[in-house]
Structure 1
Amino acid sequence: MPEVLRNVHFIVAVDPMARLVRVTRTAAPFDSLEQIEQKCLEIIAALAPVDRSAMSLLLDIRAAPGRNDPKFEEATLRLRTAAVRGFGCVAVLVATSAGALQVRRHSREDGVDRIISDNEDELLAYIANAPPRYR
C-alpha cells in the first residue's frame, strides 16, 4: 500500500483500488501537546486529496503508548474528529480491552461510529463487505 506520510508517530498509506486508508500509530511517545497537534495536522493534510466518502479508514493503534490524561484528551478531541470524519467506514485495531474502551468513549464524544477489534483480518473483512453506504 503506497505511503502518503511517514513520521516518527504515524504511517499513513492509501490504497485507492481497495478504497482503504490505513493510519498506523507507532510506539513513539509524544513530547508535548503541541507535537500532538502538529502530527495530527500532518495526517489531515496528507489525507486532503482523498475522497473520504468513497474510502474506509483502518486505524491501527496497537503500538500506541497508553494515555488518557485530561489534557491529552482535550488536545486530541478536535484533531481526531477532523482526522476520521467523513470516511464511509472507520475501523480501529486495538491491542487491549482498555484500548477498546477508550475508542468507544471517543466514538461517543465525537459522534463518529467505529468498528473496534483486536483482530486485523476481522476488520479488513468487515470493511471489504460493508454495505456501500458505509464504504
Structure 2
Amino acid sequence: MSRQFRPGAGAPALDAAYAHTITQWLAAAALLASPMLCYAANLNFLKDTPITYMRQADRKALNDAAQKALDTKKDGESYEWSNAGTGNSVSIKGTVTPQDTTKDGDRTCRTATLTAVAKGQTQTWTPIVCKTGNGPWKILKQ
C-alpha cells in the first residue's frame, strides 16, 4: 500500500516498501518554485527549472528511483530515471548517484546527488539521506 503525500500536511506516512521523504523535500521546493510564488517572493531564478515542471507523479517517480538507487548502487554508480508514464507532457529525466556511504551500527547514511533535466535546463540536489536496518531512506534534517 502506498500513501499519498499531501503538501502542507507534514511528514507523510511511510510503508515498508518505499518512503516519500525525498518527495516531501522536492514538494517543498516545488511549492517555492511555483510560478505565482516566483514573482511574489522574487524567486524568478527558479522559473523554467525542472522542478517547476514536476507534478506529484513526477516527484513520486524520482523518489522511487532514489530509493532503488540508494538500495542497489555503489558509491559513484548512477541510476537513470525519467517521468515516462506519469502523464506529464514535459519530459523530465535524470540520474540518482549515491556517494559517501557511512555506517554506524544498523544506520546507514549516504549523500544522494539527484539530477533532473527538463526543456534543456538541469537542476541538481544533494541531500544527505539515512536509513535504519531495512527501513526506508529519509532525508537527514540539518
Is TM (by shorter chain) over 0.5? Answer: no
Shorter-chain TM-score tier: under 0.3
Higher-strand-fraction structure = 2
User: Normalization by structure 1: what TM-score?
Assistant: 0.26
Larger helix proportion of the pair:
1
